Amino acid sequence: MFDTIEIKDVKKEIGALVKALRKQRGLSQTQLSESLNVSRTTIQNLELGRNFTIDTLLKVMEEVDLLQQLNNEIVKAKNQVINTKSLY
């Protein structure tokens, strides 16, 4: 009845997005890692949906000009929560 989403699924989607963006820009994992001051393994893990930090994700989002869009969605969700009256 309801589709459930798991954290691992979201991590895989994030990884696929990062990989597609990196390739679209013609960058290797090494080039991206050097521009972000992280290891190539960090980028590899992110693209594979393995353990990565929020800091790494935010660095990548900034690098590919998606940080503002991500922030806008977070602010929008926050405002919806704040402006929704509690049923309790």
| Integer Cα distance of 1 and 59 in angstroms | 37
Contact 35, 67 (CB under 8 A): no
* Mean pLDDT (the chain, rounded): 94
Fold for the domain defined by 7-83: 434 Repressor (Amino-terminal Domain) (1.10.260)
- What is the model's pTM? 0.83
User: What residues does each domain of the chain span?
Assistant: 7-83
Element containing residue 23 per DSSP (H, E): helix 7-24
Q: What is the mean pLDDT of residues 19-23?
A: 96
Per-residue model confidence (pLDDT) at position 85: 78
The per-residue b/e assignment along 45-79, b for 16 or more CB within 10 angstroms, e otherwise, is: bbbebeebeeebbebbbebbeeeeeeeeeeeeeee
| Integer Cα distance of 79 and 63 in angstroms | 26
